[in-house]
Amino acid sequence: MKSRRFFLQKAGLSALALNLTPFNPISAMTQDIFNTKQDEKPLRVAIMGLGSYGTRVANAMKDCKRAKLVGVISGTPSKIEAWQKEYGIPAKNCYNYETYHQIKDNPDIDAVYVITPNGLHMEHAMGVAKAGKHVICEKPMAINAAEGKKMVDACKAAGVQLLVGYRMHFEAKTQEVIKMRMNGDFGKVLFFQGLSGFVIGDPTQWRLNYPRSGGGAMMDIGIYSINGSRYMIGEEPIWVTAQETKNNPEKFKEGIDETIQFQLGFPGGAVASCLSTYSMNGLDKFFLNGLKGFAEMQPSTGYGPIEGKTHKGPLTNPHVTHQTTQMDEMAAIILDGKKPLVPVDGEEGLKDLVIIDAIYKAVKTGEKVSLV
């Protein structure tokens, strides 16, 4: 799999050059990091985990106005060297997984974006918090709600913010639909459908390793439909039912879900019907229906432009790279106290984990699981 969502982004990222040249801190660091308005302090970010998605975030941050990439944390020295050259990272801001706690003594780093495998999120996020730095953690925030709660508590105790990489919360067309729902344009919402899936490749990758991933498609792609149902309907679900289909137990071993259909019930009467899978391509669709109208988005969560329409016509908001908007908005949240349209804090991430736990329980028991 060449990217974190190969079915959504077929074009691979260019390989980082390995033929390194000496790092020039003046031309790279000074020009890049402080290319902001004089009166706006940038959020200085280190990325932990330099894989394909970390690279995507780093490239997107080149166009940020408030967030700047200033450091890296990786267990692979060659990646650190390549990123130093590509992004102008000074040696003093480079760490590995044994030394990253030393960021406590580095005043040039404000926050760390944790983009390591799911099973490492809690350990890494709590380590960053203990070092006194703000935490941005890729979703899912942890592999279960118990771990997520520990992360929330640790960040509160350390006096740092915990944000989760919900890039769709800032995407323009998504926000347009949310605002229409808030304004009553759809009337009473009755139904949501979320389809999230792709055919996963390499069977040896960490996403198919239970201790690393905490699950299968649900943890990786199904969470989009869970989170989407909540922000599209505007309520928190009160019950869950779910059914699992596993056609390839050799590839999808114990604890790694291949396909799960799940249903969520909401207090206002709306029902969500969703599909999460690692065995079908082209599944990236949201549909919201109310008494007065509808919204349909396809693709709904992919890295490229989101496409959609409502009963009032097509959604025409211009596309901006999601991670660019995300990081600038997160800088405003941390530095300015800005309140986002949809929360991206640790409590928001914990809500999704509670639902995921309930879905897995419903699959195992075959029963409806209450969330209240």
| CATH code of 250's domain | 3.30.360.10
Sign of CA dihedral 323, 8, 349, 87: negative
| Higher pLDDT, residue 21 or 138 | 138
Task: Note whether residue 190 is domain-resident.
Answer: yes
| Higher pLDDT, residue 14 or 211 | 211
Do 217 and 257 fall into the same domain? Answer: yes
Do 296 and 255 fall into the same domain? Answer: yes
Task: Note whether residue 12 is domain-resident.
Answer: no
C-beta separation of 113 from 58 below 8 A = no
82-91 per-position pLDDT tens digit: 999 999 999 9
Do 238 and 292 fall into the same domain? Answer: yes
Do 200 and 260 fall into the same domain? Answer: yes
Do 181 and 279 fall into the same domain? Answer: yes
β 134-137/162-164 pair status: parallel
Do 85 and 179 fall into the same domain? Answer: no
Q: Indicate the range of 11-25, 39-53, 141-155, 214-228 predicted with least confidence.
A: 11-25
Task: Note whether residue 32 is domain-resident.
Answer: yes
pLDDT at 9 (0 to 100): 41
Task: Note whether residue 331 is domain-resident.
Answer: no
Token digits of residue 174: 């998504």
| Domain closes at, from 142, 167, 192 | 167
Do 222 and 366 fall into the same domain? Answer: yes
328-355 per-position pLDDT tens digit: 999 999 999 999 999 999 999 999 999 9
Q: What are phi and psi of 6, to 5 degrees?
A: -60, -35
Residue where the block lists tokens 């490229």: 304
Do 132 and 196 fall into the same domain? Answer: no
pLDDT at 2 (0 to 100): 41
Residues 202, 28: Cα–Cα separation, whole Å: 36
Task: Note whether residue 6 is domain-resident.
Answer: no
Q: What is the four-CA torsion angle of 97, 12, 28, 321, rounded to 10 degrees?
A: -100
Whether residue 24 is predicted with pLDDT greater than 80 in this model: the reply is: no
Token digits of residue 357: 């736990």
Do 156 and 173 fall into the same domain? Answer: no
Do 75 and 57 fall into the same domain? Answer: yes
Whether residue 34 is predicted with pLDDT greater than 50 in this model: the reply is: no
148-172 per-position pLDDT tens digit: 999 999 999 999 999 999 999 999 9
Give 7's pLDDT tier (boundaries 50, 70, 90): very low
Q: What is the residue range of 222's domain?
A: 168-317+346-370
Task: Note whether residue 330 is domain-resident.
Answer: no
pLDDT at 20 (0 to 100): 38
Task: Note whether residue 87 is domain-resident.
Answer: yes
Burial of 37 (0-12, 13-18, 19+ CB in 10 A): exposed
pLDDT at 270 (0 to 100): 98
280-324 per-position pLDDT tens digit: 999 999 999 999 999 999 999 999 999 999 999 999 999 999 999
Average pLDDT, the chain: 92
pLDDT at 257 (0 to 100): 98
Do 173 and 302 fall into the same domain? Answer: yes
Whether residue 17 is predicted with pLDDT greater than 50 in this model: the reply is: no
Give 16's pLDDT tier (boundaries 50, 70, 90): very low
| Domain closes at, from 117, 141, 167 | 167
CATH number for the domain that contains residue 36: 3.40.50.720
| Higher pLDDT, residue 182 or 6 | 182
If you average pLDDT over residues 126-137, what whole number do you get? 98
Element (H, E) at 284: strand 283-290
| Domain closes at, from 133, 167, 201 | 167
pLDDT at 39 (0 to 100): 57
Residues 133, 5: Cα–Cα separation, whole Å: 29
Residue type, 301: T
Do 129 and 101 fall into the same domain? Answer: yes
pLDDT at 40 (0 to 100): 81
Total count of domains within the chain: 2
Structure pTM? 0.89
Percent of all residues in the chain with a pLDDT value above 70, rounded to a whole number: 90
Q: Classify residue 319 by its DSSP letter.
A: P
Task: Note whether residue 64 is domain-resident.
Answer: yes
C-beta separation of 8 from 198 below 8 A = yes
Give 224's pLDDT tier (boundaries 50, 70, 90): very high
